Amino acid sequence: MVSRMIEPNSVSDDPLTPLVFLERSVRVFPDKTAVRYGDRSWSWREFADDVGRFAGALQRAGVGPGDRVALLAPNVPALLAAHFSVLRLGAVLVALNTRLNASEVGYILNHCGAKVLLVDPELAGNVPRSRAALTADPLIVNLEDPVAGVMGRPCEGPSFDEFCDGAEILPSSGGIDDERRITSINYTSGTTGRPKGVMYSHRGAYNNALGEVMVHGLTRDSVFLWTLPLFHCNGWCFPWAVTAAGGTHVMLRVVDPAGIFERIAIEGVTHFNGAPTVLLMLAEAPEAQDVHFDPPIKVATGGAPPSPTLLARMQQLGVDVTHLYGLTETYGPHVYCQLQPGWEELDVDRLAEKLARQGVPYPIGAHLRVVDEQMNDVPADSETMGEVVMRGNNVMQGYYDDPDATAAAFAGGWFHSGDIAVVHPDGYIELRDRKKDIIISGGENISTIEVEHVIVQHTAVLECAVVAFPHEKWGEVPKAFVSLKPGASATQAEIINFCRERMAHFKCPKHVEFGELPKTSTGKIQKFVLRGR
């Protein structure tokens, strides 16, 4: 039998876009609560009207397909709505890191050529005041927050209410003609130079959102607390995933343990996401004493490998942690630690060891390898290290206006993560380090993650980071930067001896420095700052 190519047609080929998720939830759950923020709530019908009015206002302001719309705001409803309003016009969303300074914000606005910037008054000081510094010359809209009552010196321009007043409410059913049209540009942290703009497509966002629904068990009854910044990889695509499931978004302007525990109790939260630092904050909070959530709360963590010690503590709290791994270039998560039958019967510590591995690919992005410098797969022996490379539906379209960086990242037909890992005999990967973080001491490779996971087992240690320190004989040796728990004490000798009792001596830190650890806005420890010391 000879098969033949079937030409695409309008009946069987509908471009993939996350916009259909909102259209469906409005149709299926029009009166169900879609969004809650403070004491306010919106049904799916009301939220869709706000999205449509926002889109109509942008269209009235001249925004069309391909134009860039930037937002500088915490996790407020307008930023959630922008994930649909901007896309509805075929325009491109640029959600800005809320901790950037005015120079960094100005660079991104100019680089992407933003046509409109919506900014929360509390963050207005992070926007260049000189119009000469903004060569993109965006229309600036002040995104006031009446629920929080946060005030600040606004930028020159209309308020959000004035901007949207009288605008046509566009229907949520608007189609997209090309599923590879760009939905958003997410800028990297720029720790080794100027940030790069990572481009997501409608197709990729659609697929990754469905992956989140599958992996995290999102349903109509899910209540999702927004602890993860929406600006970070578009909230790992959860704005679209929770909407696809018809769940409820609970917005959270400020992340603090007391506020999180309060929202969990008031809203009946079932899911939230965050870096291991956020989980550590919760574990150490006074509100966590004698708490055990039943039913358990499902939490996805990523951004840095969580230690088995932290994962065991989460189990005690009644928090089921799914360990994710990915990058801005992979829409956030590309890999997760899939539970295997029988793991639930393991004791807490053994289960935590399993969950600390990064795991296997998402169902919608099944291509994952660990390779040597010749692009050969490393053996699955839990020891041989190589670089993690990926390809598939949830890999970026490329870097905006940077063809050279795009070509380098896609060398050999795979996206090169820059992360070093091993492969276990069961096929699960486990990160050992970033390429730049591996310590080579006397010709031996030392994984800083392995050393960190030992140090945090010490009862006085809250968290730590290990970096390379120059050494005349060995080239470099590990140095540990340690943050202690409140009221706890420890000495350099105690930490070093603790490690020497638990691992090969050449891997143990030769120096220990105590103090607060520098972090990014998403909770990652900034090792480049520590190396600079």
Q: List every span in the chain annotated with CATH 3.40.50.12780.
A: 19-207, 275-434
Residue 147's pLDDT is 78
4 burial class (0-12, 13-18, 19+ CB within 10 angstroms)?
Answer: exposed
Angle (CA) 432 433 438, round 5°: 110
Every domain range in the chain assigned CATH 3.30.300.30? 438-532
Q: Where are the alpha helices (DSSP H) in 421-472?
A: 448-455
Token pair in block for residue 262 = 């309060």
* pLDDT (tens digit per residue) in 259-306: 999 999 999 999 999 888 889 889 989 999 889 999 999 999 987 778
Beta carbons within 8 Å of 515's beta carbon, 6+ residues apart: 481, 482, 483
pLDDT (average), residues 477-497: 93
Q: Which of 428, 446, 347, 356 is nearest to 388 (CA)?
A: 428
Strand runs labelled E in 248-337: 248-250, 271-274, 297-301, 319-327, 332-336
Poorest-pLDDT segment among 153-167, 417-431, 441-455, 489-503: 441-455
- Is the alpha carbon torsion for 265, 266, 269, 272 positive or negative? negative
Superfamily of structural domain 275-434: ANL, N-terminal domain (3.40.50.12780)
Token pair, residue 502, equals: 């638990």
Model confidence pLDDT, tens digit, residues 376-420 = 999 999 999 999 999 999 999 999 999 999 999 999 999 999 999
Confidence band for 151, pLDDT divided at 50, 70 and 90: low
Q: What's the predicted TM-score (pTM) here?
A: 0.86
The structure tokens listed for 400 are 């905006």
Q: The tokens of 65 are what?
A: 């397909």
Which fold, 438-532? Answer: GMP Synthetase; Chain A, domain 3 (3.30.300)
19-207 placed in CATH 3.30.360.10: no
Nearest to 324 by CA among 271, 376, 377: 271
pLDDT at 366: 78
Cβ atoms 116, 58 nearer than 8 A: yes
Higher pLDDT, 89 or 519: 89
Q: What is the mean pLDDT of the chain?
A: 91
